């Protein structure tokens, strides 16, 4: 399942990042987390739907005791952010006094991450950090303390490895960008 180009909803996408490149970036993030969270037991809060592949591969690369839970938020429609973040599925875990790492597939405008940092931070965790596979620095509209970044990328619309275009494209092991 590695075609040169893919078509989703009539839009063409070309190869951008291979599964091997993604794996190397994830391992670098995991190596930092293993070092910086040694002796701690962080709770990974994976943001659905997009981060499920990243969260699974990141967790497999962690050698520290850790837990994972999921939160679902929505802020995208088609290929652009709506600018409005709606929490769809909330956390049930107690965060107070815990080391919490938000695991996100991509941070672009930062609206979703700002809301999550504010919401989760109100629960008084011992620490609250962000691990994102992709960051689009030129799109950021908020100052965000993103400590763990797999790859900084330009403002291209990408799909694959959990990222979608109106529900399609998440299943590809590689990442493709819109042509």
Q: What is the CATH number of the domain that holds 120?
A: 3.40.50.2020
Choose, from 57, 105, 108, 164, the residue flagged as catalytic.
108
- Give tens-digit pLDDT for 21-67: 999 999 999 999 999 999 999 999 999 999 999 999 999 999 999 99
User: Rounded to a whole number, what is the distance in angstroms from the first to the last CA of the chain?
Assistant: 19
Largest CA distance in the chain: 49
Residue 74 pLDDT? 61
For 79, list phi and psi in degrees, rounded to 5. Answer: -105, 5
Residue 33 lies in a domain: yes
Residue 7 lies in a domain: no
Over the chain, what is the mean pLDDT? 91
Average pLDDT estimate for 160-174: 96
- 3-class secondary-structure state, position 52: helix
Return the closest-CA partner of residue 85 out of 99, 72, 103, 68: 72
Return the closest-CA partner of residue 99 out of 41, 55, 145, 59: 41
Whether 166 sits among the annotated catalytic residues: the reply is no
| Domain around 58 | 13-178
Residue 4 lies in a domain: no
Residue 8 lies in a domain: no
- Give tens-digit pLDDT for 98-154: 999 999 999 999 988 998 999 899 999 999 999 999 999 999 999 999 999 999 999
Residue 120 lies in a domain: yes
> Does residue 1 surpass a pLDDT of 80?
no
Residue 1 lies in a domain: no
Residue 24 lies in a domain: yes
Provide the number of structural domains found in the chain. Answer: 1
Distance CA(68)–CA(92), nearest Å, equals 12
Q: Of 90 and 48, which is predicted with more confidence?
A: 48
Band (pLDDT 50/70/90 cuts) for residue 91 is confident
Residue 114 lies in a domain: yes
Return the closest-CA partner of residue 133 out of 16, 6, 23, 2: 23
Distance CA(177)–CA(22), nearest Å, equals 14
Band (pLDDT 50/70/90 cuts) for residue 85 is low
Query: What are the Cα distances from residue 111, in Å, to 61, 83, 107, 144, 164?
Result: 28, 7, 9, 10, 18
Distance CA(168)–CA(97), nearest Å, equals 38
Distance CA(173)–CA(85), nearest Å, equals 27
Residue 88 pLDDT? 47
- Give tens-digit pLDDT for 55-83: 999 999 999 999 999 998 865 555 555 55
Distance CA(54)–CA(27), nearest Å, equals 11
Distance CA(105)–CA(163), nearest Å, equals 7
């Amino acid at each position: 399942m590695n075609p040169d180009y893919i078509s989703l909803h009539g839009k063409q996408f070309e190869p951008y990042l291979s599964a091997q490149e993604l794996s190397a970036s994830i391992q670098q993030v995991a190596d930092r987390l293993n070092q910086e969270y040694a002796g701690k037991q962080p709770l990974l809060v994976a943001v659905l739907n997009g981060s499920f592949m990243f969260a699974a591969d990141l967790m497999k690369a962690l050698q520290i005791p850790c837990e994972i839970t999921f939160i679902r938020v929505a802020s995208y429609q088609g290929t652009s952010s709506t600018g409005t973040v709606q929490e769809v599925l909330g956390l049930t875990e107690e965060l107070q006094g815990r080391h919490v790492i938000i695991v996100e597939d991509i941070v672009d405008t930062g609206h979703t991450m700002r809301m999550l940092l504010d919401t989760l931070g109100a629960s008084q965790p011992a620490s609250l950090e962000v691990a994102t596979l992709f960051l689009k620095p030129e799109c950021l509209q908020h100052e965000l303390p993103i400590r763990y970044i797999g790859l900084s990328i330009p403002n291209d619309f990408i799909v694959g490895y959990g990222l979608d275009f109106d529900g399609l494209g998440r299943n590809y092991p590689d990442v493709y960008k819109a042509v």
